[in-house]
Chain A
Amino acid sequence: MPFGYLRIELLRMLRNKRYIIFVGAFPVIFYMINANLWGTQTIEGGVKADVFLMVSMGAYGALAASMMSTAVPWAQERQSGWLRQLQVTPLPNATIILTKLVSALMLVLPALLLVILAAVLTQGVSLTAGQWAALIPAMWLGTIPFAALGLVIGSLLPVDTAQPVAMLSMFALALLGGLWFPPEVMPATMKEIADVLPSFSYADIGWHLVSGEAVPPSDAVKVVIWAVVLGALAVFGYRRAVTRA
């Protein structure tokens, strides 16, 4: 993979103010507000709310990073002719989409770590080394379905549709996945929806890890299935986007 391409992809997202506010600032701010309101309460399973919230808001930041760095920028590049300019260089098509995916994953990491850092520094959250070692990679790689979804949206829709669709999908995934309100307080139908969404299974893995419980295998299976399905759709969408007439 040409390192230079990955580098400019990261650079330009990190210089985008809207992105930084949505992905860098919002999750941390939400975390601080919520942790200060409910942080000391203990929720079922005996885990403290500020730890539970760290997973919720970390998941939200990671979700936002993976979708905002893919859908709209990608739709824009297709429409503005930037992609065509890349296609007349020696950069292979497969490398382009792969780099997009890798750069989205690289951008997830700081978004996730910022919330964790806020939790550790301001709320004194502490986990065992084993818990951290499981939590961070799980919450990092668990964003593959969302990055793939972003690429699907960016490949199939024009910019002015991709923008609202990406936003709506992101908020729906966050809300229905229980990242903003714990699924326990949801009405029954919403819970059923949450149960099939990748965002819920994704966060649920994290919630189990911080409570020191075993991760339900169904969560992991669901995330993997979503990753495979959305990944395949992303490849299909990408093929369509670069097909030569």
Chain B
Amino acid sequence: MEAIAFTDVSKSYGDVLAVDGLDLSVRAGTTVALLGPNGAGKSTSVNMLLGLLRPTRGRVEVLGRSPDEAVARGEVGAMLQSGELIPELTVRETVDFVRRLYPDPLDLDEILAMADLAGLAKRRAGKLSEGQAQRVRFAMAVAGAPELLLLDEPTAAMDVESRLRFWAGMRDYAARGRTVLFATHYLQEADENSDRVVVIARGGVVADGTAAEIKAGVGGQAVHFTLGRQPAAGLDALPGVTAVGIQAGAATLQTTDADATVAALYRGTSLEVRDLRIAGADLEEAFLTLTRES
């Protein structure tokens, strides 16, 4: 069954097109990373899955129903990108309150353990650090044992150690056969914690596959040279080139075959190529090339 289905979905805020013709479906039981830079449309997509936003066009389905229905039935749990807690309530009170709103929740102690909160249960939310509050919000998201768990940049305020424990908790939850979708900026986080990575930029999918496939696709090598004021047209048509990035007169061609690309660059174009350099593609750089504004 499809846990998530976006069918030709667009969402605009006034004249800002945040999501542009998104088609995406996620099979139940998988863990998917929604990877993209700031403003790519990750939160907008997640909020449409929760019924917090309505698509301008197209259809969004969650577990075969409308988002509102799925939320009302307690089949979805979510950690939004931002949100504060009630400062006067303790961690335990907060999480227990939320879990009791669901028809068939997890056991309270189990939730606290999964979110690494056992030692903080009696602390008032107002006295938590940001990273700790983030863990409470994760606990609230899993409390109701939802079929679908949505996490929007869940590790934003966490230190290295908390991140590791957080992802362990998330994988623990996913291992129960639940569907998880999380948004992130970090390729490495996406790589280490998901079955499938969907790269989105400018409101649409630009790459989709397992982390290894994405890496292979954008991996290869990178050809750097100084383009100056010469036109960039045609660079993307050179043999082997998978992506073209131009910044301040410097061109970066991601390629699967550096030799063929360089040969064609000299023989097949009339460009004056200076400062040519070939490097193994840095993954982060490749990701940036993939998602950069063209």
Contact = CB atoms under 8 A, between A and B. Distances in A.
Interface string B175-203: 00000000000000000000000000000
Given A85-B80, A89-B144, A90-B73, A12 B89 contact: yes
A98 to B, nearest CB: 15
A51 to B, nearest CB: 36
Given A16-B88, A88-B71, A92-B72, A4 B80 contact: no
A11 interface: yes
A19 to B, nearest CB: 10
A2 B100 contact: yes
A8 B91 CA distance: 12
A81 B84 CA distance: 6
Interface centre among B71, B88, B103 (most CB of A within 10 A): B88
Contacts of A82: 83-86
A240 B136 CA distance: 29
Contacts of B82: 81
A84 B84 CA distance: 10
A84 B80 contact: yes
A173 B140 CA distance: 40
A84 B145 CA distance: 19
A90 B54 contact: no
Nearest to A12: B88
Interface residues of B, number: 34
Contacts of B86: 8, 12, 77, 82
B101 interface: yes
B34 interface: no
B93 interface: yes
A15 B124 CA distance: 11
A7 to B, nearest CB: 8
A195 B222 CA distance: 80
A30 to B, nearest CB: 26
B93 A11 contact: yes
Nearest to B50: A88
A4 B100 CA distance: 7
B74 A89 contact: yes
- Tell me the interface secondary structure of chain A in the complex: helix
Interface string B66-82: 00000111101110101
A85 B93 contact: no
Contacts of A13: 88
A81 B88 contact: no
Contacts of A85: 80, 83, 137, 140
A80 B84 CA distance: 5
B53 A245 contact: yes
A87 interface: yes
B53 A80 contact: no
Contacts of B103: 90
Interface in B91-106: 93-94, 96-98, 100-103
A15 B121 CA distance: 17
Contacts of B54: 244-245
B260 interface: no
Contacts of A2: 100-101
B101 A90 contact: yes
A212 B89 CA distance: 44
A5 B137 CA distance: 17
A16 B97 CA distance: 19
Nearest to A76: B84
B52 interface: yes
Contacts of B78: 88
Nearest to A8: B97
B89 A8 contact: yes
A84 B51 CA distance: 11
A89 B80 contact: no
9 contacts: A4-B100, A5-B101, A8-B86, A12-B87, A12-B88, A81-B83, A84-B52, A89-B98, A244-B54
Given A15-B88, A87-B52, A88-B78, 13 more contacts: A7-B97, A8-B93, A8-B97, A11-B88, A11-B89, A12-B87, A77-B86, A81-B80, A81-B84, A84-B80, A88-B71, A88-B80, A90-B101
